[in-house]
A = this chain, B = another copy of it.
Amino acid sequence: MSRHDHQLHEGDSLKEAARDRLTSEGEQWTDMRAAVFDALASFEKPASAYDVAEAVSKSEGRRIAANSVYRILDLFVGANLARRVESANAYIANRHPECLHDCIFLICDDCGQTVHIDDDSLSASVRKAAAGAGFSAPRPVIEVRGKCGDCEPN
Contact = CB atoms under 8 A, between A and B. Distances in A.
A144 to B, nearest CB: 5
B144 A143 contact: no
Q: How large is the interface on A (under 10, 10 to 19, 20 to 34, 35 or more residues)?
A: 35 or more
Given A104-B129, A122-B126, A132-B1, A142 B145 contact: no
Contact of A130 (B126, B133, B144): B144
A117 to B, nearest CB: 6
A136 interface: yes
A47 B140 CA distance: 20
Contacts of A66: none
Interface stretch (A9-17, A34-42, A55-63, A146-154): A146-154
Most buried by B among A127, A144, A149: A144
A134 interface: yes
Interface of A: 1, 86-87, 89, 104, 106, 108, 115, 117, 119, 122, 125-127, 129-130, 132-149, 152
19 contacts: A1-B129, A86-B87, A106-B130, A106-B137, A115-B135, A117-B129, A117-B133, A122-B125, A126-B142, A134-B148, A134-B149, A135-B147, A135-B148, A136-B152, A139-B144, A140-B144, A140-B145, A142-B142, A142-B143
